[in-house]
Amino acid sequence: MDWTRGSHGWQAGCTFGTLYTMAQTRKIALHYMQHASWAALPEDDRELLELAAKAARSAYAPYSKFKVGAALRMESGELVPGNNQENASFPAGICAERTALHAAMAVLPKGVVESIAIVVPQVKGTRPVTPCGICRQALVEQERRQQGPIRLLMGIVKGPVIETFSAETLLPLSFDSSQLAKKKAR
Ligand SMILES: [Zn+2]
């Protein structure tokens, strides 16, 4: 690798020029719905958002004070709430989305999650909170497990709602079990 001073600052030049000619720029488009308020949604979705907001009130978040609520609607009709559970050993804490997901799958191991609502009642601003990276990974694992997408509804109380049609939408180029297949060592 050679470094040269170009018009845009320092640039790396590679003696293996073919590496550059083989590169392609690819694009991933993110499609989601933005609803102006909960009132714009069907009753089932409003009910799920209400359950998530209610769950947030019981969250155990003495350290961050950032109370998050989640609620799942299973294909079989059950509603499963969850909230964040923090710990003095910070990494031991768990997010609301995974609390709800793991609680559901512990009792319904063949269950299919149709939708998950996520609400942070005391969030600043008007942008709904979206799941952290670990929760996205956990939700994508569940999509693989149930071989179908999970709708996400992320809402500000009585305000705007972001809806995605799958968890994978929020985690493109994700890692999954297909990449664990062992290859012969070279
Ligand atoms: Zn999370």
Specify the residue for token string 């929020």. Answer: 170
pTM of the full structure: 0.86
Is 120 within a domain? yes
Label residues 41-57 b or e (16+ Cβ within 10 Å = b).
beeebbebbbbbbebbe
How many angstroms separate the alpha carbon of residue 95 from the centre of ligand 1? 5
Is 20 within a domain? no
Is 181 within a domain? no
pLDDT > 50? residue 165:
yes
pLDDT > 80? residue 21:
no
How many angstroms separate the alpha carbon of residue 134 from the centre of ligand 1? 5
State the CATH number of the domain containing residue 37.
3.40.140.10
Is 12 within a domain? no
Contact (Cβ atoms closer than 8 angstroms) between residue 168 and residue 31 = no
pLDDT > 60? residue 15:
no
Predicted local confidence at residue 17, as pLDDT: 56
Structural domain count, the chain: 1
Q: Is 128 left (phi over 0), alpha (psi -120 to 50) or beta?
A: beta
Of residues 3 and 186, the one with the higher pLDDT is: 186
Is 11 within a domain? no
**Active-site residues: which are they?**
97
Predicted local confidence at residue 1, as pLDDT: 46
How many angstroms separate the alpha carbon of residue 186 from the centre of ligand 1? 37
C-alpha to C-alpha distance for 137 and 75, rounded to whole angstroms:
21
Mean pLDDT of 86-101: 98
pLDDT > 50? residue 30:
yes
How many angstroms separate the alpha carbon of residue 164 from the centre of ligand 1? 16
Average pLDDT over the chain, rounded to whole? 91
Is 146 within a domain? yes
Is 16 within a domain? no
pLDDT > 60? residue 144:
yes
pLDDT digits (tens, 9 = 90+) for 37-83: 999 999 999 999 999 999 999 999 999 999 999 999 999 999 999 99
> Domain residues for 127?
28-175
When mean pLDDT is compared over 17-26, 136-145, 169-178, the highest value belongs to: 136-145
How many angstroms separate the alpha carbon of residue 2 from the centre of ligand 1? 42
Is 7 within a domain? no
